[in-house]
């Protein structure tokens, strides 16, 4: 009878862990979608196309009709490339922050699991001593 209650307690603990895991999994999916999901990729692609288009238009206008002085168009091109580099650095920073958050979360979960395993081992040892 006592063994059945212990197994019932372990089963309840495992079911609770499974529910916690499912909740965490859904929360992480939502966060991934907000930070690095497809919508963010579309934004990145749009920004890339806009920057490339502006630089190509300036280049073609300079080559054909010399709309702006040479140094002005060169400075505009360098400014646009600098803005694009800053955007890329920002994107990488967001990704690194998210990656750090995931790794920290995993470490926390591993530590929790380690504590629970130690508790289970302790209970098992105590039960063996009692049953002897």
pLDDT in tens, 72-89: 888 888 898 899 899 889
* DSSP 8-state class, residue 68: S
Whether 118 shows a pLDDT value over 90: the answer reads yes
3-state helix, strand, coil in the chain (%, to 5): 95, 0, 5
pLDDT reported for residue 77: 83
Q: Has residue 95 got a pLDDT over 90?
A: no
State pTM to two decimals: 0.54
- pLDDT score at 96: 85
Q: Which residues span the domain enclosing 97?
A: 2-131
pLDDT of 119: 92
Model pLDDT for residues 8-57, shown as the tens digit of each residue: 777 888 888 888 888 887 887 776 666 555 556 787 888 889 988 988 88
Based on the number of CB atoms within 10 Å of its own CB, is 76 exposed (0-12), middle (13-18) or buried (19 or more)? middle
Quote the tokens at residue 96: 């690194």
**Cα angle for residues 9, 12, 14 (degrees, 5° grid):** 110
The CA radius of gyration of the chain, in Å to the nearest whole number, is 29
pLDDT for position 115 = 92
pLDDT of residue 85: 92
In sequence order, which residues have a C-beta less than 8 Å from that of residue 98 and are 6 or more positions away? Answer: 31, 32, 35, 36
Task: Count the domains in the chain.
Answer: 1
**First-last CA distance in the chain:** 17
User: In this predicted structure, what is the pLDDT of residue 4?
Assistant: 62
Q: In this predicted structure, what is the pLDDT of residue 36? A: 54
């Amino acid at each position: 009878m006592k063994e059945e209650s212990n197994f019932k307690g372990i089963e309840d603990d495992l079911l609770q862990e499974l529910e916690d895991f499912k909740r965490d999994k859904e929360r992480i999916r939502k966060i991934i979608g907000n930070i690095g999901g497809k919508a963010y990729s579309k934004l990145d692609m749009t920004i890339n196309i806009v920057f490339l288009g502006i630089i190509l238009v300036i280049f073609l206008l300079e080559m054909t009709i010399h709309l702006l002085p040479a140094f002005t168009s060169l400075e505009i091109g360098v400014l646009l490339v600098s803005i694009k580099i800053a955007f890329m650095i920002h994107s990488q920073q967001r990704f690194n922050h998210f990656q750090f958050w995931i790794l920290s979360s995993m470490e926390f979960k591993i530590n929790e699991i380690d504590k629970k395993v130690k508790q289970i081992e302790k209970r098992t040892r105590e039960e063996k001593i009692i049953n002897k």
